[in-house]
Chains A and B, each alone.
Chain A
Amino acid sequence: MLRLAPLSLIGAALLAAPTVAAPLAARNTCVNCHGDVQDEAGSDVHRAAGLTCVDCHRGDPSAEDHKSMGRRKEFLGKPTAWVAAEMCGSCHADIDRMRVINPGLPTDQLAQYRTSEHGKLALKGNKQVATCVSCHGFHGVKPVSDPGSPASKGRIVETCTRCHNPAYMAGGSVPTDQLEKYKLSVHGQKRLRERDPGAPACSDCHGNHGAAPPGVYAVTHVCGKCHVTQAELFVASTHVTYFRDGGMPPCTTCHNHHDILATSDALLGTGPGGTCATCHQPGDRCDLATAKMKEGLRSLGASIARARASLARADRLGMDVERPTYDLSGAAEALVRARVVVHTFSEEEFDKVIAEGVGVAREVDKEALARLNEYRYRRQGLAVGSAMLLLFAGLLILKARHLEKRRLGKEP
């Protein structure tokens, strides 16, 4: 650290203060030959922090000849595998140093990397495996928050699949169909087609520096990061024991993993598209229960549709339906909740939610029908009132004419 600090300061002075840098520039002899690398570095985050070539590659920047890159000068050259990880870790795992440079960054990346599949292979000397620079880049490193960084949320799928593809991983034991499956999944559709930055990508489930396939029972925790209620209900349900005893990972057994399809009511039961068929037979207790659940969902959906249609009719006729329209959101919310409560595998819990939703939808439908009746009442009132007013106006005109005739008859 003591050795690097002055060099860092020199680098910072070189890059940040041109008036002072001129006499010092000659001492960074790396750029005499590798000037193109300096251009490539551009707005590199390390360069901006004042680091120079020697901070990563070591060596002696003051030496004019090739001795500057000799072993005696601890020159690393272009490090690969674990050496590359250690090179970055020399700063990023150093709490004292990072506290000065960027206290906002974590310092456990190297420790996590050591436990990852990537790190384990790197430690064995595998030069093909991903290291820090594989994901973050090297001379043009950008902060992860920068959309241009290959490790940024928007580009991470592209970055991971640079290695996790059939060509690069040929001959290996790791599957290489993740991207194709991910493209079909509900997450992939959201992320790649709809450009939804909130949709999960590789690192959201597998982690980043400690990237590894989640353990069989850890899947609930991985999916539960976003699907909190579903995970909680599943863990509290009776099914959790059956899954454990059967050695089946929770969540992914029914929903798959890389090719997670959009959920639908068809997933319930043993029929076509039903995920229960993995363990259950048509006509067994589960099949009968899920048939009832599907009917409950259909009935609640139909009640909501009926109420919505009545509200739309009343709205088209100019009646105020703002409040019942708002109330109907309670039924729609119950429908969403019912689909979540399926994860309790409890008919009783499920029926309670369905009954609540159907009750709200029926109440709203009644309100909408009351408004339609009010509309009819107004129309009838208008017809009767207008008829009476027209009759009265006609009588007044007749009376006026009659009076006029009588007056004119009397006049000479």
Chain B
Amino acid sequence: MALERVWSWLDERAGSEALGHLLSAKVVPNHRYSFFYYLGGMALFLLAIQLGTGLLLLLYYEPGVSTAYESVKRLSSEIPFGWLVRSIHRWSADIFIGVLALHMLTTFFMKAYRRPRELTWLTGVGAFGLALGFGFSGYLLPWDEIAFFATSVGTAVAGSMPFVGQALLHLLRGGEDVTGATLARFFALHVVVLPFAALALLGVHLLLVQKHGMSVPPGLAESGRPRPFFPDFLLRDLAGWTLALALLAALAALAPAELGPKANPFASAPPEIKPEWYFYAPFQQLKWIPAHVGPFEGDAVGALGFLILGLLFTLVPFLDRKAARGERSPAFTAAGIAVFAYLATLTCYVWLH
């Protein structure tokens, strides 16, 4: 009774009845690949964890060359549950990018990018790019040795881009080298620019998903009536989120986030520096490319290659004409499998070495 009164109070002021209608009308297609529809919700849940833990970390983190490392150390060893919050933030970032990548791949192979969902695809790819930016900028913030040198290498790769490389390098580093200016930029990027951009992009993405509903792969027969989003699908979503939370807690307790020695720009780089796992593939590719490819620098060719690959991937809804007509497009599927297999092999190679 009381709940109904609250609901009608809200409806009178905010039109919550419309939300109720929306929820009751929303359905999820039912077929043998329906499981992949949970990935979007999982990514959303992990983003919420990132924002929540990120806000808690912000209460104690102090950006600056002489304070960043010390504040992270204090947070990990002295602040009650600081280690837990930091470890969950770190692990959920890794899993978030993994889930986003899987979400994007399943969307690709289920041809969900086809007309009329081109904009949904573009906003999704954009959100993935922002997530990589979150990872790259957040990696430097503890200001430990590995963070410092990994950022030096990462920004140097950006600096090797043809034409815009040097300007990009200066923009990222705030000068010639990785210094306190770089830390200030990365901090602002990580806690202000990227979150606002991500929330805006995600808002558009979710609105478009709401408008077009979930796509069924071309030529795939549905195995039953669509499942109502509320409560059937959402309850399963919640179960998945709960399991993800249990996994995060286990990872945080068993393998807490590490903090190496404080960054020392005058020290020599550690022999085995590696970026985050999601940059393993371009990292290894750049290592394998010779110093010079014809008249061009090897790094520039590698960086440009990945840029072109990313651009083709982004524009796939406009390139795959068959899928746009609702037909099967095995060539794109085969190309996707080849690229994915190559990237996965490179990633595994770096991981194992």
Residues of A participating in the B interface, judged by any CB pair closer than 8 Å: 318, 320, 322-323, 378-379, 381-382, 385-386, 389-390, 392-394, 396-397, 399-400, 403-404, 407, 411
Please choose the segment from B170-178, B193-201, B249-257 that sits at the chain A interface, where 4 or more of its residues have CB less than 8 A away: B249-257
Residues of B participating in the A interface, judged by any CB pair closer than 8 Å: 73, 76-77, 83, 225, 227-228, 231-232, 235-236, 238-240, 242-243, 245-246, 249-250, 253-256
A contact residues around B239 at 8 Å (CB): 393-394, 396-397, 400
B contact residues around A379 at 8 Å (CB): 253
A contact residues around B83 at 8 Å (CB): 320
Minimal Cβ-Cβ distance residue in A for B77: A320
Minimal Cβ-Cβ distance residue in A for B259: A320
Cα separation A411 to B73 with both chains bound (whole Å): 59
Cα separation A407 to B235 with both chains bound (whole Å): 15
Which residue of A385, A392, A397, A411 is within 8 Å of B236 (Cβ)?
Answer: A397
Minimal Cβ-Cβ distance residue in A for B236: A400
Helix, strand, loop or mixed for chain B's interface? helix
A contact residues around B254 at 8 Å (CB): 382
Which residue of A320, A381, A390, A400 is within 8 Å of B243 (Cβ)?
Answer: A390
B contact residues around A385 at 8 Å (CB): 246, 249
| Residues A404 and B242 in contact in the complex (CB < 8 Å), given A320-B76, A382-B249, A382-B250 | no
Q: Cβ of A389 and Cβ of B245 under 8 Å apart?
A: yes
Q: Cβ of A386 and Cβ of B249 under 8 Å apart?
A: yes
Helix, strand, loop or mixed for chain A's interface? helix
Given contacts A382-B249, A390-B243, A403-B232, 11 further A-B contacts (CB under 8 A): A318-B255, A320-B73, A386-B249, A389-B249, A390-B242, A393-B240, A394-B239, A396-B235, A400-B239, A404-B227, A407-B232
B contact residues around A403 at 8 Å (CB): 231-232, 235
Q: Cβ of B242 and Cβ of A389 under 8 Å apart?
A: yes
Q: What is the minimal beta-carbon distance from B261 to any residue of chain A, in angstroms?
A: 10
| Residues A411 and B225 in contact in the complex (CB < 8 Å), given A397-B236, A400-B232 | yes
Which residue of A320, A382, A393, A399 is within 8 Å of B242 (Cβ)?
Answer: A393
In the complex, 20 of the A-B residue pairs with CB atoms within 8 angstroms, ordered by the A residue number, are A320-B77, A322-B77, A382-B253, A385-B246, A386-B246, A386-B249, A386-B250, A390-B243, A390-B246, A392-B242, A393-B239, A393-B240, A394-B239, A396-B236, A396-B238, A396-B242, A397-B239, A400-B231, A400-B236, A403-B232
A322, A400, A407: most-surrounded residue (chain B CB, <10 A) = A400
Cα separation A407 to B224 with both chains bound (whole Å): 13
Cα separation A379 to B253 with both chains bound (whole Å): 7
Cα separation A390 to B249 with both chains bound (whole Å): 12
Q: What is the minimal beta-carbon distance from A399 to any residue of chain B, in angstroms?
A: 6
Minimal Cβ-Cβ distance residue in B for A378: B253
B contact residues around A407 at 8 Å (CB): 228, 232
A contact residues around B250 at 8 Å (CB): 382, 386
B contact residues around A411 at 8 Å (CB): 225
Q: Cβ of A393 and Cβ of B235 under 8 Å apart?
A: no
Minimal Cβ-Cβ distance residue in B for A375: B253
Minimal Cβ-Cβ distance residue in B for A399: B235
A322, A381, A382, A394: most-surrounded residue (chain B CB, <10 A) = A382
Cα separation A403 to B246 with both chains bound (whole Å): 25
Which residue of B225, B235, B253 is within 8 Å of A381 (Cβ)?
Answer: B253
Q: What is the minimal beta-carbon distance from A2 to any residue of chain B, in angstroms?
A: 56
A contact residues around B242 at 8 Å (CB): 389-390, 392-393, 396
Which residue of B225, B243, B249 is within 8 Å of A393 (Cβ)?
Answer: B243
B contact residues around A381 at 8 Å (CB): 253
| Residues A404 and B232 in contact in the complex (CB < 8 Å), given A378-B253, A389-B249 | yes
Minimal Cβ-Cβ distance residue in A for B258: A318
Q: What is the minimal beta-carbon distance from A314 to any residue of chain B, in angstroms?
A: 12
Cα separation A167 to B227 with both chains bound (whole Å): 105
Q: Cβ of A323 and Cβ of B236 under 8 Å apart?
A: no
Cα separation A386 to B225 with both chains bound (whole Å): 35
Cα separation A387 to B246 with both chains bound (whole Å): 8
A contact residues around B228 at 8 Å (CB): 407
B contact residues around A320 at 8 Å (CB): 73, 76-77, 83
Q: What is the minimal beta-carbon distance from B103 to any residue of chain A, in angstroms?
A: 21
Which residue of B227, B246, B253 is within 8 Å of A389 (Cβ)?
Answer: B246
Q: What is the minimal beta-carbon distance from A395 to any residue of chain B, in angstroms?
A: 8
Cα separation A394 to B242 with both chains bound (whole Å): 9
A contact residues around B231 at 8 Å (CB): 400, 403
Minimal Cβ-Cβ distance residue in A for B243: A393
B contact residues around A323 at 8 Å (CB): 77
Give 5 closest A-B pairs by Cβ, nearest first: A400-B235, A389-B246, A396-B239, A393-B242, A382-B253
A contact residues around B225 at 8 Å (CB): 411
Q: What is the minimal beta-carbon distance from B35 to any residue of chain A, in angstroms?
A: 13
B contact residues around A386 at 8 Å (CB): 246, 249-250
